[in-house]
Chains A and B, each alone.
Chain A
Amino acid sequence: MMMGKTFWIWLAWFVFLMVLNFTVPFTVLSDVPHLRGSFLFWVIWGAVAIASMFVMFLGWRESDPSAQRGPS
């Protein structure tokens, strides 16, 4: 399936987010024994991921079902 530029940008963004998710608390924040460490990181990380998804799907729109014609 041919994927557009938008797809690759979002894919790169979410791969980046996942890399942060699996590395930052285990490295940069491993010596921060405080709520301002990993707890705050993951809360912000979650909020950013969710906001990104809203941006992704808010542009969807209804289509005229009668206009759909595909191979059977």
Chain B
Amino acid sequence: MSSGGYAWTILAVYVIVGIGIAALARRQMGGGMNEFFLANRQLGGFVAALTYAATTYSAFMMVGLAGLTYKFGVGALGFELTYLGGLVLVVFFGPRFWLVGKKCDYLTHAQLLAERYQNRWVGIIAALLCLVFLVPYAAIQLMGIGYMLSVISEGAISLTIAMVFATVLSVVWANIAGLRSVAWTDALQAAIMLVSAAVTLGFLVYRGFGGFEPFLGRLNTEVPKLLAGPGLLKFNVFFGLALPWLFFSLSNPQVTQRLFVPRSVTAFKQMIGGFLIFGFVYTLVSVIWGFGARLLIPDLPAADQATPYLLALPIIPKLVALIVMVGILAAAISTIDSILLSLSSMVSRDLLKVGFRADISEKTELKIGKWVVVTLAVVFLVFASWAAGKSGLAFMIAPLSAAAAAGLLMAVPALIGAFFWRGATAAGALSSMIAGALVVLVLQFTGTKPFGLWPGVWGLIVCVILYVGVSLVTKPPTEKADAFIGYLEENLPKYKFI
């Protein structure tokens, strides 16, 4: 059988098993928005941990992070572990989201913000931020798939066909049973991602270098510049990439929405603990993978192609390479379908129902949400097709991810303030999100980095100053702030939450 034949066969198995799991999930599905978008807030700890991992970790890891390591060295490890260290925000804010989410039936963080600040425009702008900045983030998942499938299948699957395939699969899995089918397929996909990556790393190290000791020895002698300090990443680049990543767990709706879904405190603990262990192992595997590529194929024209070219080497058995290909495909699809669900819930709930049409029925709201899934998927595909034709650092997968995270970061001060600051106001939240996002967009599109600082850093500075300054001179929604924060003060100790 040809490479293309094997590739399509393995993809067919993956699709059939995934659809089977999604169909099983559908059997448990009830009706309504909460059920479709939040699995009725009843996910167990094991599935919650794996869906959190599969949603967070995308094609970025084995393609983008490996590419970043290939090009810049050990700083890529620090950058990604900064994100994992930032998960302390979930340990701290997660229980707060969970408690108020259950009490007030919040579907999205934008809805939480709109109600907390007593202003629908806060929710509308928070939702628009997600829509604007998650399009490039979702699109790079498709680009990652496109690059990889076309190389591994030796051209039998073209870049465009691969991206269309992933888009269709994401829409199908998101629409079969909403978050329930996404979470269950995510659990399968997370397992494929981790196991396939670890097994292939074994082949790389033992067949490519003769074991870990020779591999590490060659790293020390052949690429010492990639190991000294942060490697070739300058501080301002490292800081510019890492800062938005540090707050990723609060800024991205597809992960904040997962803070609403564990069915119990035990499930919540299992979700965080399971994800932390998964993340640590997966990060190390991806970075070591990138270093291996640097030693074996040092002269690639584009760092993002490190993984596909590595998988095409004879030291990796074809079957193993194809399974890893499915693992990376799984990583990308599990992120895309979660983003699709999350954004469609924001369009139907925050833009439409809370924003402009409070009178629409839940049935209509859900119907619209399902159609938005399809529409957004087409937008992702169009953006990815456009961006895949570009080259250079600006269109490398890692910086594009960080740029998206930088934009989403602009809602974080308003979110943190919502839980702590009774004096915070809607005007402060609105001005901070709008001005911060504009700063990020202008700097990103013009390629400007004043004083060497990246767009996310400048955006956050403007955002925080406006949030605090404007809030101080405007009138807060005192009654709601007291009720919201008071509820948490009363209930957090009952669960021994910090």
**Please, which residues of chain B bring their CB within 8 A of the CB of A39?**
74, 77, 227
B229–A29 CB distance below 8 A: yes
The reply to whether the CB of B75 lies closer than 8 angstroms to some CB of chain A is yes
Interface residues of A in 1-25 (CB under 8 A from B): 1-2, 4, 6-7, 10, 14, 17-18, 21-22, 25
Contact partner, B420, options A1, A58, A69, Cβ 8 Å: A1
B82–A21 CB distance below 8 A: yes
A56 CA to B268 CA in the complex, in Å? 13
A42 CA to B427 CA in the complex, in Å? 40
Give the size category of B's interface with A. Answer: 35 or more
The reply to whether the CB of B474 lies closer than 8 angstroms to some CB of chain A is no
A38–B103 CB distance below 8 A: no
The reply to whether the CB of B445 lies closer than 8 angstroms to some CB of chain A is no
Q: Pick out which of these stretches binds chain A: B179-187, B311-319, B485-493.
A: B485-493
A19 CA to B394 CA in the complex, in Å? 28
Interface size, chain A (Cβ < 8 Å):
47
**Please, which residues of chain A bring their CB within 8 A of the CB of B239?**
22
**Please, which residues of chain B bring their CB within 8 A of the CB of A68?**
103, 491, 494
A25–B229 CB distance below 8 A: yes
A38–B78 CB distance below 8 A: yes
A43 CA to B229 CA in the complex, in Å? 14
Contact partner, B74, options A42, A62, A72, Cβ 8 Å: A42
Would you give the shortest CB distance from B347 to chain A, in whole angstroms? 28
A62–B231 CB distance below 8 A: no
Closest to A6 in B: B498
A53–B265 CB distance below 8 A: no
B490–A49 CB distance below 8 A: no
A32 CA to B269 CA in the complex, in Å? 38
**Please, which residues of chain A bring their CB within 8 A of the CB of B75?**
25, 38
A30 CA to B73 CA in the complex, in Å? 13
A46 CA to B136 CA in the complex, in Å? 28
The reply to whether the CB of B228 lies closer than 8 angstroms to some CB of chain A is yes
Interface residues, chain A, CB within 8 Å of chain B?
1-2, 4, 6-7, 10, 14, 17-18, 21-22, 25-26, 29-35, 37-39, 42-43, 45-47, 49-50, 52-54, 56-63, 67-72
B220–A72 CB distance below 8 A: no
Closest to B84 in A: A46
With A53-B272, A54-B273, A68-B494 given, can you name 11 additional A-B contacts, CB distance below 8 Å? Answer: A1-B420, A22-B238, A25-B229, A34-B228, A35-B216, A37-B229, A38-B227, A52-B88, A60-B497, A62-B265, A71-B487
* Listed A/B pairs (29) with beta-carbon separation below 8 Å: A1-B419, A4-B498, A22-B239, A29-B228, A31-B229, A33-B224, A33-B225, A33-B227, A35-B219, A37-B74, A37-B227, A37-B228, A38-B78, A38-B229, A38-B231, A39-B77, A49-B84, A50-B276, A53-B88, A53-B272, A56-B91, A57-B91, A57-B268, A57-B269, A57-B273, A60-B265, A60-B496, A63-B494, A70-B486
Would you give the shortest CB distance from B416 to chain A, in whole angstroms? 11
A71–B264 CB distance below 8 A: no
The reply to whether the CB of B495 lies closer than 8 angstroms to some CB of chain A is yes
Q: Is the interface of A mostly helix, strand, loop or mixed?
A: helix
Contact partner, A62, options B103, B224, B225, B495, Cβ 8 Å: B495
The reply to whether the CB of B283 lies closer than 8 angstroms to some CB of chain A is yes
Would you give the shortest CB distance from A51 to chain B, in whole angstroms? 9
Residues A49 and B284 in contact in the complex (CB < 8 Å), given A37-B229, A38-B230, A61-B265: no
A18–B85 CB distance below 8 A: yes
Residues A71 and B489 in contact in the complex (CB < 8 Å), given A17-B85, A34-B227, A62-B264: no
A43 CA to B242 CA in the complex, in Å? 16
B265–A26 CB distance below 8 A: no
B489–A1 CB distance below 8 A: yes
A60–B495 CB distance below 8 A: yes
Contact with A along B76-90 (1 / 0, CB 8 A): 011001101101100
A1 CA to B495 CA in the complex, in Å? 17
A71–B483 CB distance below 8 A: yes
Closest to A27 in B: B229
A58 CA to B87 CA in the complex, in Å? 15
Interface residues of B in 256-315 (CB under 8 A from A): 264-266, 268-269, 272-273, 276-277, 280, 283-284
